Amino acid sequence: MVLQIVSPSKHNQMLGRRIKHPKSTNFDDDGASSSPRPVKRSKQSETDDTSDYESRPSSPKPTPRDIPDPDADVDEKGTEVLSSGRQTDLESALPPIRTDKEAVEEYEAQRAAEGAEAADAEGRLRDRKRTRGKSSIYVDAFNMALETVLLDESHLFDEAETAVFSYWQALSYEAQYLYVRLFLRKTSAWHRINRLGYHSDVADISAAIKSLQESRTLPASSAEPLISPGELEPPPGTKLGPLFTFADRSEDEITTLEEASSLLRLDELKTLAKDAKVNGRNKTELLRALRRTSQKQTGIGWRSLKRSDTETSIRSASVMDDDEDGGTATPQDEDELSAMNRDAHFVRKIMSETGPYIRLSSATLKLFERVHLVFYRSTEWTEKSLTTIILAKIARRNFPQYIVCRSANVFASRALLLEFEASLRTQFRVDNVLEFSGRPSHEDLHAILEVFEEVYPRWRALLQDEQEKEDNIYLSGEGAYLRRLSPAWVYTRIAHKAVYVFGKLKEHKREHELLTELLDQRLFHASRRGAWYQRKALLEEHYMWALSPSASRSEEAQKKHWKRIALRTCEEGLQDNLVHVIHHYDLQKRVTKLEKVLKVAKRAQHDFTHVRLAAAVEVTVEGIRIARELPRPQTSNGTSSRRNSSPFPDRRGAKTIWLDSAEDNGECSVEAMCLSDYRSRGWKGYHSEGGIVRTLFAYLFYDVLFTYIPNVFQTLYQTCPLDLHTDAFYPSRISEINRRLAQIGNGEAGNLIQRVWDEHYEKKTCVVGLDWAFELSDLLEIVGCFDGEALGAICKVMAQEYGQRGGGVPDLFLWHPERKRVMFAEVKSENDRLSDTQRLWIHVLTGAGVRVELCNAVAKEVRSG
C-alpha cells in the first residue's frame, strides 16, 4: 500500500471510468449526483438501493453489439457524439470544470507549442508536454492506465494477454491513436473508414488500419478455465485464441444482407430501395421490404454480379462438395443456393457503395476493458472521465489536503477478477428478464430462481470470506468501498432480486428465509436494509403464521405470536445503525400499529413523539402573471402542427412569468415572486433548492469528508472521497459522523462553520457542494435559527444518501432571525406537481421537525405579454 501526503505518485496521476463491461454494469444502482445548483424540478431517478424492493429495480438497457446506428450524430471530424450518461464517481469527486471538445483542443494546442516530449505517457502528463501527431491526451491516458496496471497488478493477466500488451506497445503512435479513439466511441459498432476523420493526427490512416487488422500469434495460456456459478458461455469471439487482431475487417465479417443493410444511412437506403423497386415510409419499413425482396425475387440488377456469385458457379462448387461426400443436391439445397445468390448480390452492392468498415475485435476490446476495470476500480467510465483528471490538474485550483492512497490488492487473483466479470454477465441476464423483456412470465421468474440457486452456495462462501477479511484484515474502513468490486456484491444484488421473485410467486416462506439471510450479513448493500426489515415484518404480520408450525397454538394465538415477531423485527430495524433515516418512519408506524393490535400496555409502548412528524402546510400567494402564447410545434416541412387545435396550447411544465412588486413590477420567476412575499413578512431566504443544504453539509462535515480512508482518494484533485455518492460512505465513517452529529445537536454548528471559513475562504478551496457565494453572516444566522437536532437529522440523511438526495429539496429556504425559526417552501404554480424526490424530502424535513409549506402561486390578475 502506497501512502502519500501531497506529491503525486505513478498510481495517482489520473482516475476515471469506462462504460459497460459487460453490458449490464449498473450493479450498485447509485443515483446520479446533482450539480451544485440543480435546475428546478429536474427529476432524478432514485436508486434501487433506496426504493421498496418490490418495485422492479432499474438497470441500464442493453445495446446490441453488431448493429450500429448509421444515422448517429457526428461532428465535423466524423466523431460520433457521445451521449452523456450519469456522472461517475470520479466526475462527482472532481471540481466543475470545462471538459468539452473545445477544452481538450485548447489544452492540446497549448501543449503542442512546447517542443520537448517526455519519454513516456506519465512524463508527458506530468510535464504537460505534447507534440501534435506524436502524442495525444487520449493515448497518454490510455497508456498510463495500462502501464500502471502492468507495473503493480500484472498477476491478473496470463501469458496470451501479456503478449497482446507487448504487441500493443509495439504499435505505431498513429495505430494506437486510431484504436483509442474508436475505443472511446461505439466500441461494438462498425465504423465506415472513409468517414473516420482524424487526419490531423493520423497521416496514413490506411497503414494504421492495416496494422490494427493484421493477424498476430499468441502463446498458449497456462491459466485454467474458470467456471463461474450461474454463468453461461462468454459471448462468442471474446476469448483470445492462437491468432488475434486488434480490429476486424468488414470483408471477413459482414456476410449477410441483414448485417450489410443495417450499415446504410437513410439516404443510401432510399437509393438502393429505388433500384430494387421497393417502398417504405421509414428506415425500418425500407429494410424490411428490401430483405423481403431478396427472399422472393429471382434477380435484380444481375449485371453487377461476379462470376463467383452466379448460380452456376455456386451450384458447381456445391456439386463438387456433394460428390466428395457421396451425396446429391436436393430441391431444398437449390432454394438455399438461390437465396445465397440474391443475398450476395445485395451485400456486394451495399459494400461497393459504402466502402470497407472497421470494428474493434471483441477479444482485445474486452481485455482492455478489463485493464480499465482494474485501473479505475470501476466498470463504468466515459471519455469525459478520461480527460477530466488531466484538465483538473491544469485548472490551477486549490484542493483540500488529504492522504492519497491506492491499494494494489483489490483483486487478489486473476480468478477473482474473472469471476467478478462473470457475475456481472449473470446479473445482466436477471436484469434483462425483469427490466427489458416486458412483463416476466411464470417461466421467466423460475429461470431467475434457477440462476439464484446456482450462485447461492458461492454467495454464502464469499460472505464468510469477506467477514473474515473485515474482522482480521481491514483496519481503517477500506473494506466498504473495495467490496463493491467483489462478486459477492453482485450476488447479493441477485439475491435481492430473488426476494422480489419469491414474493411474486407467493413463496413467502422462502422469501422470509432469504430476507433473514440478507439481514444477517452487514457488509453488502447496506442502504437496502431498511426495505428488507419492512418487508420481513410485513411477511411476519400477515403470512408466516400460516406457513410455520403452530406448536399446538390456536390460530389466533399463532397470529399473535408472529405479530410479536414482526414487532421485534421493526425494533431491530430501528436499532440497526446501518438502516437509513428515510426508513425509520415506516418502521415506527408499523410498531405503533402492532402494539395497538397486541394491546401492549401503555407504559410498555414506544414513544415516537420526538419524531414530531407534521404534514406540509398549504399556503397561497397571490400575484400578477404574464400570459404569453406559446409557439406551436413545427412539423418537418415548417408548418404548425394541428395536433392541438386549442388556441391555448398545453402549458404543463412550462415556466410561468410573474411580476415582482418589490422590484418595480419587474418580470421574475414564480419562485422569486413568492420569495418577495415571504421577505415582506420578515423572513430572509434564498431560492437555492438543494444548494443551501449541500453548503451547510460541506461546512459542517469538512474534516469528516477528508478523513483518511484507504482507496477513496486516488488523485490529488478531488473535491470529495470517491465513496461519497455510494452507500459505503456512511458505514466507513459511522463513528466520526455520529460524533459530529452530537456536536451539531449541542449547538456547535456556528463554530464549525467559522473554522472552515477562516481556513479556506481566501483560497476558495474546491469542496463538493460548497458554494462560497453564501455570506458567512447569513450562514451563522441560519444555524443559530436551526434546532440542533433538526439540523443533525438533515445532515445524517445527506451522509447516508448524498448521491440520491441531491435533488428534490424544496425551492425556498427561509429563516426568521427574530423568531429563531427556519422553514422550507415548495413553490407550486398551475403547471407544477410534486415529484417523488420532492415528497421524500418533505417527509425527511417534517420528520426532523422543520416546517415545510406548499406555496401555491395564484394569479389575482393575468396580463397579456
DSSP string, 692-741: HHHHHHHHHTHHHHTS--TTS--SS--SS-TTTTSTTHHHHTHHHHHHHH
Contact 58, 48 (CB under 8 A): yes
Q: Are residues 540 and 626 located together in one domain of the fold?
A: no
| Residue-wise pLDDT tens digits, 409-438 | 778 889 899 999 889 889 988 988 888 778
CB 683 within 8 A of CB 674: no
Burial letters for 652-680: b for 16+ Cβ neighbours within 10 Å, e otherwise?
eeeebbbbbeeeeeeebbbbbbbbbbbee
pLDDT value of position 840:
84
Inside any domain, residue 753: yes
Let me know whether 438 and 467 are in one domain: yes
The strand pair at 617-627 and 851-864 is best described as parallel
Going by their DSSP bridges, the two strands 666-668 and 657-660 should be labelled as: antiparallel
Predicted pLDDT at 84? 40
**Whole-number pLDDT of residue 780:** 96
**Does residue 576 share a domain with residue 623?**
no
849 and 767, same structural domain? yes
pLDDT for position 672: 92
Residues 6+ away with beta carbon under 8 Å from 101: 75
Same-domain pairing of 801 and 738: yes
pLDDT at 472: 82
Residues 723 and 756 in one domain: yes
* Range of the structural domain that residue 775 is part of: 617-630+653-864
Residue 520 CB partners (closer than 8 Å, separation 6+): none
pLDDT for 282 equals 76
Residues 592 and 622 in one domain: no
Judgement on whether residues 582 and 446 belong to the same structural domain of the protein: yes
3-state secondary structure 271-332: HHHHHHCCCCCCHHHHHHHHHHHHHHCCCCCHHHCCHHHCHHHHHHHHHHHHHHHCCCCCHH
> 33 to each of 29, 47, 83, 460, how far by Cα in Å?
12, 11, 17, 33
Is 459 a domain residue?
yes
Cα separation, 670 vs 409, whole angstroms: 54
Q: Are 385 and 17 in contact (CB under 8 A)?
A: yes
**pLDDT at 142 (0 to 100):** 86
Q: Which three cell numbers stand for residue 608?
A: 415516537
Residue 419 covered by a domain: yes
Region of residue 15 (left: phi > 0; alpha: psi -120 to 50; beta: else): beta
Identify whether residues 660 and 753 lie together within a single domain: yes
In a domain, 382, yes or no: no
- What residues are paired with 626 via a beta bridge? 657, 863
Structural domain ending residue among the three candidates 609, 644, 670: 609
Q: Are residues 493 and 570 in the same domain?
A: yes
Residue 169 belongs to some domain of the structure = no
| Lookup: cell for 620 | 397561497
The pLDDT of residue 744 is 96
Mark whether 657 and 597 lie in a shared domain: no
Q: Is 801 helix (H, G, I), strand (E, B) or coil?
A: coil
Are residues 493 and 348 part of one domain? no
How many independent structural domains does the chain possess? 3
Q: What phi and psi values does residue 336 have, to the nearest 5 degrees?
A: -65, -40
Amino acid at 807: G
Q: Provide the pLDDT for residue 396.
A: 65
Instruction: Supply the pLDDT for residue 787.
Output: 93
Domain assignment present for residue 580? The answer is yes
Please tell me the predicted confidence (pLDDT) of residue 105. 65
Q: CA-based diameter of the chain, in Å? A: 103
Please indicate, yes or no, if residue 10 is contained in any of the structural domains. Answer: no
553 within domain boundaries: yes
Identify the segments of the chain with pLDDT beneath 50.
1-85, 115-119, 128-130, 298-327, 329, 331, 335, 337, 635-637, 640-650
**Single-letter amino acid, residue 738:** N
Prior bond to 57 cis, omega within 30?
no
